[in-house]
Amino acid sequence: MQTNLKVIGDTKKSFVTGNEAVTWAALAAGAEMMFGYPITPQNEVMHYWTRLAPKYGRGFLQTEDEISAGFTVCGAVQAGTKAFTATAGPGNVLMQEPFGMAEAMRLPLFAVIQQRGGPSSGTVIYSQQEVTLTTYGGNGEGHRIVYSTATHQEIYDYTIKGFNVAWKYRFPTFLLGDGYQAKMREPLEMYDPQERGIEIVPTYPLIGLDGHIGENREPQHLCNIYSLEEELYEVVMRFAEEYESISPELVEYREEQCDDADIIILSHGVVSRAADDAVKALRAQGIKAGSFRPITLRPFPQAQLREAIAKSGAKKILIAESAYGQLDRLTKQEIYGETIKIENLFKPGVGIIDYDIVSKVKSIL
């Protein structure tokens, strides 16, 4: 496909929705194809893409369902094309099947998840209830890379990074946003990644290779099913080893004022903005609060969180999330053995503001 890579000329300030940020970033990252199926709150990713893509020589297909959207991406990336999809909620559930295939076949699949309320059709609005599904969904071992963004700038930055990471490591990679981030507008600085010195990882085909079979190349036989237990075991163990070896270079997190914190507020995604504001408010009232935010939910910054607990000497962690304990479970399995008391503020499918966190902290200190 003839793509015009030059999408963003000079860096420009804009005021856009998160879904629009995804689209511009995907174009800037050189994404060549999007496959998608309508579901709120990610629809505008497709809407912007279908308007902009033809201008830059990129393709689109609206598939019959999310299963098909996921599998068409699997096919396109096997053929060496930078392809992606975006979905939410029940669509994310359906896409677990192709995501599993991408895990098994080490396909450089990139997907944007804009979380909505659940279970079932839930709400079309917002939640953080797709953490478990996106990190560990499917009948595998969660060999995935998941970035949980908090701002439109991060949506832009991590969409570009997500494609790069997917093609560099060939583990399926996800940008985990939510309905708030998808729909609200906020300032964004759009830039050309190459102008910023961000190298775009080149794509390459796994099938449909050049040359003549039997003369100068062998046929490729890609598989995801094995006859023997031991064959599968070796494959999964190799993936696990690779995943663990690259995890230190992938892990990203942010912490605020944890050094002397009596309480660490742990949150991810858009809720971390409320946590940061709560830290400011609590500090102003003389309460030593800090915040810790995993940006990568997979792999999880467990060593960094343990370090934050150790250096602060904090007595409590407050886990705040718009779900009923999905980040909580993820965190507990990652920092097993720590004796710090873990409190929670669970608001499944409902937004969390600084006031909620401040009140909760005061009630437990």
Partner 1 sequence: MITPAVPKSWYLPSKPHKFCPGCGHGIVLKALGETIDELEIQDNTIFGCDIGCSLLSWDFFACDSTQTHHGRTTPVMVGIKRARPELITIGYMGDGGGYSIGSQHLLNAAVRNEKVTLILVNNTNYGMTGGQMAPTTLPGQKTETTPYGRDPELTGYPTRGPEFLAELTPDSAYIARATVSKYKQLKRFLRNALRNQIEGNGFSFVEVLSTCPTNWRTNAQQTWRFLEDEMEPYFPVGELKSPFGKGGDK
Binding site for partner 1 (CB under 8 A): 1, 32-33, 35, 59, 61, 63-65, 67-68, 71-81, 83, 97-98, 101, 105, 205, 207-209, 211-214, 219-225
| DSSP H/E element including 294 | strand 289-294
- Shortest CB 101 distance to partner 1, Å: 6
Shorter beta-carbon distance to partner 1: residue 94 or 145: 94
**At closest approach, how far in Å is the CB of 50 from partner 1?**
15
What 3-state class would DSSP assign to 196? coil
| Residue 21 C-beta: closest distance to partner 1, Å | 25
Q: Is 78 helix (H, G, I), strand (E, B) or coil?
A: helix
Nearer to partner 1, 144 or 183 (CB): 144
- 173-178 and 110-115 as β-strands: parallel, antiparallel, unpaired? parallel
CA distance 320 to 350: 11
Minimum CB distance to partner 1, residue 147 (Å): 24
Four-CA torsion 79, 182, 44, 348, nearest 10 degrees = 90
As beta bridge partners, residue 346 has 321
Locate 345 and state its tokens: 């503020």
C-beta closer to partner 1: residue 206 or 251: 206
The count of C-alpha atoms lying within 13 angstroms of the C-alpha of 211, restricted to the half-sphere facing its C-beta, is: 11
Residue number with CB closer to partner 1 (95 or 327)? 95
- 73-112: b or e for each residue (b if 16 or more CB lie within 10 Å)? bbebbbebbbbbbbbbbbbbbbbbbbbbbbbbbbbbbbbb
Shortest distance, position 100 Cβ to partner 1, whole Å: 8
SS3 for 86? strand
Shortest Å, Cβ 82 to partner 1: 9
Task: Return the number of the residue (84 or 292) whose C-beta is nearest partner 1.
Answer: 84
Between 10 and 64, whose beta carbon lies closer to partner 1? 64
